[in-house]
Amino acid sequence: MATITLGATPNLSSAVTGLDKGSPLSGSNSQKAGGASGGAFADLVKGVANETLEASKAADQASVAAVHGKISDLELVHTMKEAEISLQRFKSVYERTKESLDKILNMNI
């Protein structure tokens, strides 16, 4: 997750491109040698949840800083957009997990 430094110019391209190599959804940490494992999936979910929490905290701090005039409107919008994108990633992981569980539960054994 990108961190926002007060007074720094935001990198809007990272918000637009979405997934990068360090992202929990990129797959770089989601598979072990020989395929995916349960621990890797738990790490993926934990990583996405932590990213969402940190982005939300950054957005809260940015909104307070904007009220006090410490950051520009552009920085506030960028931070809020990062939080929104992170929440969308979390929602996507949640929905796909739920769909997979529903498929497993509906299997004929």
Question: Would you place residue 109 in the very low, low, confident or very high pLDDT band (cuts 50, 70, 90)?
Answer: confident
Question: Phi/psi of residue 57, each to 5°?
Answer: -65, -40
Q: Using alpha carbons only, what angle is made at residue 49 by residues 81 and 107, rounded to the nearest 5 degrees?
A: 115
Domain-wise residue ranges, the chain: 36-104
Question: Would you place residue 85 in the very low, low, confident or very high pLDDT band (cuts 50, 70, 90)?
Answer: very high
3-class secondary-structure state, position 68: coil
Cα separation, 33 vs 75, whole angstroms: 40
**Lowest mean pLDDT across 2-6, 15-19, 92-96, 98-102:** 15-19
Question: Residue 28: enclosing H or E segment and its boundaries?
Answer: none
CA–CA distance from 67 to each of 5, 12, 72, 77 (Å)?
16, 22, 10, 13
Cα separation, 37 vs 23, whole angstroms: 18
**pLDDT tens string 52-84:** 999 999 999 999 999 999 999 999 999 999 999
Q: Answer for the pair 88, 80: CB distance below 8 angstroms, yes or no.
A: no
**pLDDT tens string 21-55:** 444 444 444 444 444 566 888 898 999 999 999 99
